[in-house]
Amino acid sequence: MDMALYDTILSRIQQPAQYIGGEWNAVVKDHASVGLTFALAFPDTYPIGMSHLGIAILYDVLNRQPHIAAERAFMPLPDMQAALRAHGLPLVSLETRTPLAAFDAIGFSLQYELCFTNVLAMLDLAGIPVRSEQRDDRCPLVVAGGPGAMSPEPLAPFIDLFAVGDGEEMVLTLAEAIRSTRGLPRAERLRALAQASPHFYVPSLYREGPGGTGFQPVGGTGKMPVPPLPITRAVVRDLEHAAYPERPIVPFIETVHDRITLEIMRGCTQGCRFCQAGMTRRPVRPRSVEALHRIACAAYAATGHNEISLASLSSSDYPQLRELLGRMAGTFDPKGVNIALSSLRVGDQLSDIPSLIRGVRKAGLTIAPEAARDPLRRRINKNITTDDLLRAAREAFRQGWRAVKLYFMIGLPGETDEDVDGIVDLAYEVSAQRGGRGGEVNATISSFVPKPHTPFQWEPMDEPEVLRAKQARIRSQARGRRVKFKFHNVESSLLEAVLSRGDRRVAEAVERAWRLGAQLDAWDEHFRFPLWQQAFEETGVRISDYAHRRWGEDEWLPWDHIFAGVTKQFLLAEKHRAERGETTPDCRDGKCTRCGACVTT
């Protein structure tokens, strides 16, 4: 690696600080003194990747081991990519500027589908063949985890191994399996890795059976048979004592979430029928107030951040929320540190939240009713009422909150024109709770995408023209400046549906789209849907087969070989309850719903 040339490049590109490393609390180890090198690759840019808690946790877990050196790599912006290619330099890690191809393993975190082409771009920039079958014994193992591993087939030809589920404990098993199999021929090594854990999926060991009948093993020997399917999700049962970064890295530049993130609880059992995370991250596991306060104090001392975010899928459901907020306020209010709450549930207790967090910066309160009318909320199992929402908004404005941000979806199963119109009506009703000229309300409206491992996984997505018509209907009814509506890009949501519900045929379109120039697809300024349309056409992939088709209840689904913990019988039962307009109570409030997560994971 020509360090002088690399420094020259950095002096000529935008935001060079995102490529230089050396941040406060970064860990640098001598590769000659460790037994394993592991590159944690986030397939998006530094400001986004450095805001992701999962990468911070894995970085901490791996680097706590004296024999492992874990380093970071992110997706370069186009100007940096062009500079690297022009000078014949590879993509390198931040900590030691080691080429990614020189690591023992590269681990990608798949947080959203629109990062898939970035995975191929980063491998190519690193000088690593993008397809697993083209790599030899000199190449690092390419592994992937995160939500994208729950429906992995659109990336299956490019990934050597998917690690499914919670990563804190699984990543150490993976690291040891990689270290202990070093020196074996590649094919033999992959078989050994597949045997190392029931949570490891090696796609090259399986092929799709005829007529959509599931996967069949490829070969196998008596000594090392191909592990049976399904692959099960790893679950960290004891979150209280799980590793957590108490010295998070302090970025040199502003990131999306420039603060300390404190995961107060993992999992959610509210049972929203559209929500993949709520189904695949069960059961609920809270951390204690004492542990959270200790982590917060340590992280603040190590970083000096002026904001701490209390994060979970539904922070207001944390069982000791009042005690935690009081403890945090007592410690951090005198220091001028803001406490932020995310993912608040609209329910009886939400009206109490604004007063509980009076001492924080009152920029805006974010809540997600998802649907505007009670009948549709019952179909999606959003167990709230309009009265709950209005009462919460009224209290928020009374306590001095300047704005309320609302999240809605259009295209939900069973939606009517009245539901679409109701979004506008409800947004203005929320604004009116402030009195006078009304309060500021920002309504963000996304398109429903039927996700794997949810009760709506069998449902079709609305056609693009239908979604655009609904967006236009809402725009036509907007009035005044106090309420603003923002819409997600329809084509982005359409692509998300194809990539999340795809099989291995879709992988051909992913590679073709990347070779045509698609990358950074989650960025509006870089997203070019015509490239994807061309890729789909050239590879024979029909968008309607994945986004707009209703799957049969007895049909094999492209992700059925990945068991997320919630049984298919439960998901089907929830689908039928949705069709009848029936709700399912949160199991923490009483009766077990028999979803399977507490028994099977």
Query: pLDDT of 428-462, one tens digit each?
Result: 999 999 999 899 999 999 999 999 999 999 999 99
Q: What is the CATH superfamily name and number for domain 3-165+167-232?
A: Response regulator (3.40.50.2300)
Q: pLDDT tens for residues 52-62?
A: 999 999 999 99
Instruction: Look at residue 430 in the predicted model and tell me its pLDDT.
Output: 95
Q: What is the DSSP letter of 163?
A: E
Categorize the per-residue pLDDT at 350 as very low, low, confident or very high, splitting at 50, 70 and 90.
low
pLDDT on residue 541: 97
Domain ranges of the chain: 3-165+167-232, 245-488
Please report the pLDDT score of residue 363 as a whole number.
58
Q: What residues contact 194, with CB distance under 8 A and at least 6 apart? A: 161, 200, 201, 202, 205, 226, 227
Determine whether domain 245-488 maps to CATH 3.40.109.10: no
**Full-model pTM:** 0.95
Rounded Cα–Cα distance for residues 300 and 332 (Å):
9
- Percent of the chain past pLDDT 90, that is, above it, reads 84
In the numeric block, which tokens belong to residue 193? 């890795």
The 10s digit of each residue's pLDDT in 31-89 is 999 999 999 999 999 999 999 999 999 999 999 999 999 999 999 999 999 999 999 99
Of 108, 273, 154, whose CA–CA distance to 547 is shortest?
Answer: 154
Binning pLDDT at 50, 70 and 90, where does residue 384 land? confident
State how far the Cα of 550 lies from the Cα of 441, in Å rounded to an integer: 35
Res. 358: pLDDT tops 80: no
> Which helix (DSSP H) or strand (DSSP E) does residue 543 occupy?
helix 543-547
Strands 260-263 vs 231-232: parallel, antiparallel or unpaired = unpaired
SS3 content of the chain, % helix, strand, coil (to 5): 40, 15, 45
Residue type, 87: H
Residue 364 vs residue 503, higher pLDDT:
503
Q: How far is CA 20 from CA 9, 28, 34, in A?
A: 11, 13, 23
Residue type at 430?
V
Identity of the amino acid at 394? R
The beta strands (E) that lie in 197-304 are given as 200-201, 206-208, 215-217, 231-232, 260-263, 265-266, 285-286
The yes-or-no answer to whether 3-165+167-232 and 245-488 have a common fold is no
